[in-house]
Amino acid sequence: MYRIDLPTYDVPKKWYNINADLPIDLPKPKSSEGKDQVGDLPNMLINECLKQELSNKRYIKIPKEVRELYQRMGRGTPLCRAKGLEEKLNTPAKIYYKREDTSPTGSHKLNSAIAQAYFAKKEGVEKLTTETGAGQWGTALSLASSLMDIDCTVYMVRVSFEQKPFRKSIMQVYDGNVYPSPSMNTEVGRKINKETPNHPGSLGIAISEAVEEALADEKTKYSLGSVLNHVILHQTVIGQEIKTQLEIAEEEADTVIACVGGGSNFGGAVFPLIKDKINGNSNTEFIAVEPAACPTLTQGEYKYDFGDNMAFTPLLKMFTLGHDFVAPSDHAGGLRYHGMNPQVSLLANEGYITSKTALQTDVFAAGQLFAKTEGVIPAPETNHAIKVAIDEAKKCKETGEEKTIVINFSGHGLMDYKGYASFMDGTMENSI
């Protein structure tokens, strides 16, 4: 089988919550000394999302309206066989890729954006604020907010705002209000701009700006595109579909690979599958791939840290490079975050997840090879997973093993030509 499609009635009816199956209890969020960031959460987050964040219930029903929007926006997504890539590599491995790039906004991000905007609308929220790196989350939340007829303000990391101008245009098509971060809209942004003119920005700073705006207005809530547990919960439709599609193909995954920044596409793809490994019923290897320029899992410290630059958010137990970390301005903007989702962090710390890094030029070379053999141009973030999948397939060529490798193809690269152009003309650096 070269393409496994699912009928719309096979779109999952519930989200999977890995909190119920973690090998040890997940450390709870904490406030810092003299502050009450945990107490601020109801003022900051959508109420239903906060309930989901703290829930230990194994399955949470997807509202009918959300499931219908999933179907309208293209779920289920196909699982495709990368036969051209296999032949080019001359490998006995089978390579499959789950096409989350087929959504209207071109990535997996819409799975959580729709859910969050739906719950916000039900609760009477009039505006959502958020941050975005590469712009994929910003475009997704702008569309979801438009579908729900609520306002959306996006703080986009300045370097990505400049690198990817058409992402801004897409957000504006969906009536999203987009500002380069640090901006002049918030106290946080004004302070940083005064201290460091032309600051490139970071996701930590953009989060602080979005949270500041949300806390200032009771009709405004902050919406996050990765890192928090409820975001990955919504993304588990991906892994549930992969599981069904592998059963249809009569395959068992030996290796599942996804890029990782804050953890949303990685956790969404692997959590429904990693459950079997936790229970001792699977030997599948789960590989999280991050940029060498932002090595959160591979070089970060597993400890409590803030999710944002200005310490508005609670302390989370996670792998972190420090909440004041500013990543180099590489082209994988969606992976330039200092921290990691607490659930992904716990599983990595307990040995259920393998973490790897990749250099920027290597991931673009992998992306170009994939595009030439499969026809689809991947996002720079997705290229990290493709690069390691190619490495794994080459190992199979050496050993003769007929492994089944699954990639979560998190998004397309049709807004990332500037990155591809700098790679192909030889001006791209490795940013480490």
SS (H, E, C) 289-309: EEECCCCHHHHCEEEEEECCC
Which stretch of 80-89, 259-268, 389-398, 413-422 has the lowest confidence by average pLDDT?
Answer: 413-422
What share of the chain in percent tops pLDDT 70? 98
Task: Count helices and strands (H / E) in the chain.
Answer: 18, 15
Give, in degrees to the nearest 5, the angle at Cα 340 between 254 and 156. 115
**Cβ atoms 32, 311 nearer than 8 A:** yes
Give, in degrees to the nearest 5, the angle at Cα 81 between 79 and 82. 125
Q: Residue 197 corresponds to which tokens in the numbers above?
A: 């003119």
Residues 103 and 147: their CA atoms lie apart, in Å, by: 14
| pLDDT surpasses 80 at 329 | no
Quickly tell me which residue has 């029903």 as its tokens.
Answer: 61
Residues 409 and 376: their CA atoms lie apart, in Å, by: 10
Average pLDDT, the chain: 94
More confident residue, 429 or 106: 106
Pairing of strands 151-157, 127-132: parallel
Closest CA to 139 of 129, 124, 154, 149: 154
How many other CB atoms are there within 10 angstroms of residue 332's CB atom? 29
Pairing of strands 59-61, 14-16: antiparallel
The band of 429, judged by pLDDT with boundaries at 50, 70 and 90, is confident
pLDDT, tens digit, for every residue of 28-55?
Answer: 999 999 899 999 899 999 999 999 999 9
| pLDDT surpasses 70 at 364 | yes
349 phi-psi bin (left φ>0, alpha ψ -120 to 50, beta other): alpha
pLDDT, tens digit, for every residue of 93-128?
Answer: 999 999 999 999 999 999 999 999 999 999 999 999
The band of 415, judged by pLDDT with boundaries at 50, 70 and 90, is confident
**Cβ atoms 146, 120 nearer than 8 A:** no
Q: What is the model's pLDDT at position 259? A: 97
Residues 295 and 328: their CA atoms lie apart, in Å, by: 11
pLDDT, tens digit, for every residue of 128-158?
Answer: 999 998 889 999 999 999 999 999 999 999 9
For range 302-310, the mean pLDDT? 92
| pLDDT surpasses 90 at 203 | no
| pLDDT surpasses 80 at 333 | no
Q: What is the model's pLDDT at position 48? A: 97
Q: What is the model's pLDDT at position 162? A: 87
- Rounded CA Rg of the chain: 20
Q: What is the model's pLDDT at position 202? A: 87
pLDDT, tens digit, for every residue of 251-305?
Answer: 999 999 999 999 999 999 999 999 999 999 999 999 999 999 999 999 999 999 9
Q: What is the model's pLDDT at position 428? A: 82
| pLDDT surpasses 70 at 345 | yes
Q: What is the model's pLDDT at position 165? A: 86
3-state secondary structure of 131: strand
Concatenating the DSSP letter of every residue in 237-256 gives HHHHHHHHHHHHTT---SEE
